[in-house]
């Protein structure tokens, strides 16, 4: 925890600022730290490592005005994806065979045991080049990208 974050939390605990203000301030501090980190990375590496997977669905203005719309804005930290993949290590050994058999029944010939942490890192790095941009017939814009 940085000094600034501690100050904001102290102010929140002392009721000097509201929870909304604390949220905004912590977001600003986080963004500031991320920015400094990015500068350092640019010097050391050619390409920044992706930090978040973003999925957005933006409705067209007409359906939004009519009140019949879907709007999605999801930001998933890459670290959460990594941690989620680590959850596979909690699968009991006897369950692996069952999952593999179920996958085979669906026509997917894949051994769940073959997932290695190194492969995941490669996959996450490769995600940096991915961008999905789809516009539906109703004018909805769907975007999947990393930042």
Partner 1 sequence: MSRPPLLMKLRFQKEDRRFGIWLPLFLLLPVALVVLIILSPLILIAILVLWPSGWGRLALRTIGVSWGLLCSMRGLEVDIRRNNELVFVSAI
**Does residue 89 touch partner 1 according to CB under 8 A?**
yes
Are residues 71 and 63 in contact, defined by beta-carbon separation less than 8 angstroms? Answer: no
**Does residue 93 touch partner 1 according to CB under 8 A?**
yes
**Does residue 14 touch partner 1 according to CB under 8 A?**
no
The closest of 120, 122, 121, 129 to 147, measured between CA atoms, is 129
Restricting to residues 31-60, which ones interact with partner 1 according to CB under 8 A?
51-52
- Residue 106 Cα distances to 50, 53, 89, 101, 143, angstroms: 32, 28, 23, 9, 29
Restricting to residues 60-79, which ones interact with partner 1 according to CB under 8 A?
67-77, 79
Smaller CB separation from partner 1, 52 or 145:
52
**Does residue 22 touch partner 1 according to CB under 8 A?**
yes
Burial 70-84 (b: 16+ CB within 10 A, else e): eeeeeeeebeebeee
**Does residue 96 touch partner 1 according to CB under 8 A?**
no
Name the minimum Å distance from CB 107 to partner 1: 30
Q: Give the DSSP letter of residue 89.
A: G
Q: How is the beta sheet containing 131-135 ordered, strand by strand?
A: 52-58, 141-146, 131-135
Name the minimum Å distance from CB 106 to partner 1: 27
DSSP helix/strand/coil, 47? coil
How many chain residues are in contact with partner 1, going by CB under 8 A? 35
Are residues 144 and 130 in contact, defined by beta-carbon separation less than 8 angstroms? Answer: yes
**Does residue 145 touch partner 1 according to CB under 8 A?**
no
Q: Which residues contact partner 1 by CB under 8 A? A: 1, 5, 9, 12-13, 19, 22-23, 26-27, 30, 51-52, 67-77, 79-80, 82-84, 86-87, 89-90, 92-93
């Amino acid at each position: 925890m940085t000094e600034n974050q501690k100050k904001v939390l102290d102010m929140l605990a002392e009721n000097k600022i509201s929870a909304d203000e604390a949220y905004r301030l912590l977001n600003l501090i986080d963004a500031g730290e991320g920015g400094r980190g990015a500068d350092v990375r640019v010097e050391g590496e050619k390409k920044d490592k992706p930090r978040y997977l973003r999925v957005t669905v933006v409705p067209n203005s007409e359906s939004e005005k009519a009140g019949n719309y879907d709007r999605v804005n999801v930001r998933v930290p890459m670290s959460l994806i990594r941690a989620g993949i680590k959850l596979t290590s909690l699968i009991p050994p006897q369950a692996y065979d069952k999952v593999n058999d179920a996958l085979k029944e669906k026509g997917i010939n894949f051994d769940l045991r073959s997932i290695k942490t190194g492969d995941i890192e490669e996959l996450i790095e490769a995600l940096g080049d991915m961008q999905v941009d789809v516009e539906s017939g109703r004018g909805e814009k769907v975007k999947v990208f990393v930042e």
